[in-house]
């Protein structure tokens, strides 16, 4: 049931600190500051690369995972949307791990990609929320997300739980591959353990985000920009907004702005910039300057350090607490979900059952 929430989506957004905490506890031993032995039963030291695929929001989670695996474990990741992957006949190595991400475990294209990789003799690992799903049954290794049933068509808590698993696996892989030592493992595990606390702080921004959403519900087009791990978040923000509010939105890598989309910028199109104060921040700010110079209205989502460092005039600035870099994509997902949610509420759409969409896409 929805309890005292208006929509399942609202309820599921608010459940995140708790379900992320359950999910992390499956992979991390907080008291020892270690990856739980046996929680990632794949020999990452023997794997040459990861071939990943998924659809929609699960694909964006995988895209964030790519940054983590490559950075923390020096393990290259090829990732593609499953509808392309399944027909591409990509040359695959038997030493690769085929990794799939799915809330339902039933998405037709992702399942077909899984079966293709299995036929090619790869080890199949799946991050999945529904334990008794087809994908879970057909995988060699299941990495569960413990998000509980997700009812809203727009994925929220499944996404942040997928990210939590991907971050944990990247740390496990780094440990097995010797790219991080025990101190670094302990440090990363400690940082991951703080996600629920930061997520609770992010939820407190709800009244401000509701007010900003009132403005957003008046516009026709929205652009989302981000760099590094914030780039997939920009894609996710745009998907979330379009699927439940029906407002046209696009997500772009901030550096791609001048390769085309900058032509769209005027006073009528807000630009949502996702920019924690990380090692990409300065670059993103210079892209923001280009937007501001053309009269674009900026909604900046950043942290305290970022807000202090940016000298730009923004229409709104959403200030999250300063977080360790690895957990930023998980924390920044929350304001992005709330923006889409409240905008849709102002538009009066059917938030939990948006038009033309199904929770689980079991036909291609
Ligand atoms: O069940 P899955 O995670 O495999 O579903 C994948 C996509 O269909 C799903 O994430 C979809 O994009 C959501 N409606 C996004 O909010």
User: Cα(132) to centroid of ligand 1, in Å?
Assistant: 17
Any atom of ligand 1 within 6 Å of the Cβ of 126:
no
Measured CA to CA in angstroms, residue 12 lies from 217, 218, 328 at distances of: 22, 26, 19
What is the pLDDT averaged over residues 335-355?
Answer: 96
CA distance 100 to 139: 9
Look at ligand 1, atom 9, and give the residue with the nearest C-alpha: 56
Give the number of the atom of ligand 1 that is nearest the alpha carbon of residue 103: 3
User: Cα(168) to centroid of ligand 1, in Å?
Assistant: 22
pTM of the model: 0.98
What is the pLDDT averaged over residues 221-228?
Answer: 97
User: Cα(174) to centroid of ligand 1, in Å?
Assistant: 28
Exposed / middle / buried, residue 355 (Cβ in 10 Å: 0-12, 13-18, 19+): exposed
Share of the chain above pLDDT 90, in %: 93
Say yes or no to pLDDT of 311 above 90: no
What is the pLDDT averaged over residues 236-261?
Answer: 96
pLDDT one-digit tens code per residue, 132-188: 999 999 999 999 999 999 999 999 999 999 999 999 999 999 999 999 999 999 999
Say yes or no to pLDDT of 121 above 90: yes
The answer to whether residues 180 and 72 touch, using CB atoms and an 8 Å cutoff, is yes
Look at ligand 1, atom 7, and give the residue with the nearest C-alpha: 56
Any atom of ligand 1 within 6 Å of the Cβ of 153:
yes
Nearest to 143 by CA among 216, 36, 289: 36
Distance, first Cα to last Cα, the chain: 30
Identify the active-site residue in 118, 242, 305, 359: 359
- What is the pLDDT confidence band of residue 100, given thresholds at 50, 70 and 90? very high
Strand stretches in 254-339, DSSP E: 270-274, 297-303, 316-320
Average pLDDT, the chain: 96
- pLDDT at 89 (0 to 100): 86
pLDDT one-digit tens code per residue, 278-307: 999 999 999 899 889 899 999 999 999 999
Q: Which of 12, 56, 106, 135 for mutating ligand 1's site (highest number of atoms within 8 Å of CB)?
A: 56
Residue 11 known to be catalytic? no
């Amino acid at each position: 049931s929805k309890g005292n929430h208006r929509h399942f989506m609202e309820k599921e957004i608010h459940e995140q600190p708790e379900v992320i905490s359950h999910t992390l506890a499956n992979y991390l031993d907080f008291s020892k500051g270690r990856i739980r032995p046996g929680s990632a039963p794949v020999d990452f030291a023997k794997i040459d690369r990861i071939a990943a695929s998924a659809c929609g929001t699960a694909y964006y989670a995988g895209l964030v995972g790519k940054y983590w695996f490559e950075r923390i474990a020096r393990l290259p990741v090829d990732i593609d949307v499953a509808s392309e992957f399944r027909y591409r006949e990509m040359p695959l190595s038997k030493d690769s791990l085929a990794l799939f991400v799915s809330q339902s475990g039933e998405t037709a294209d992702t399942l077909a990609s899984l079966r293709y990789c299995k036929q090619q003799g790869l080890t199949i690992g799946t991050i999945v929320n529904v334990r008794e799903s087809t994908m879970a049954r057909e995988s060699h290794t299941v990495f569960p997300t413990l998000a509980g049933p997700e009812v809203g068509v727009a994925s929220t808590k499944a996404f942040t739980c997928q990210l939590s698993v991907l971050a944990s696996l990247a740390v496990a892989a780094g440990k097995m591959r010797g790219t991080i030592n025990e101190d670094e493992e302990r440090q990363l595990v400690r940082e991951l353990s703080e996600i629920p606390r930061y997520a609770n702080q992010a939820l407190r921004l709800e009244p401000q985000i509701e007010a900003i959403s009132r403005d957003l519900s008046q516009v026709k087009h929205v652009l989302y920009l981000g760099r590094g791990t914030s780039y997939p978040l920009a894609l996710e923000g745009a998907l979330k907004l379009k699927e439940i509010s029906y407002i046209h939105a696009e997500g772009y890598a901030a550096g791609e702005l001048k390769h085309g989309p900058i032509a769209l910028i005027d006073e009528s199109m807000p630009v949502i910039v996702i920019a924690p104060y990380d090692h990409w921040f300065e670059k993103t700010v210079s892209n923001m300057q280009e937007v501001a110079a053309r009269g674009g209205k900026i909604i900046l989502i950043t942290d305290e350090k970022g807000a202090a460092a940016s000298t730009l005039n923004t229409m709104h600035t959403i200030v999250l607490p300063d977080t360790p870099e690895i957990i930023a994509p998980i924390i920044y997902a929350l304001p992005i979900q709330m923006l889409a949610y409240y905008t849709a509420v102002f538009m009066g759409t059917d938030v939990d059952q948006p038009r033309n969409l199904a929770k689980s896409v079991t036909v291609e």
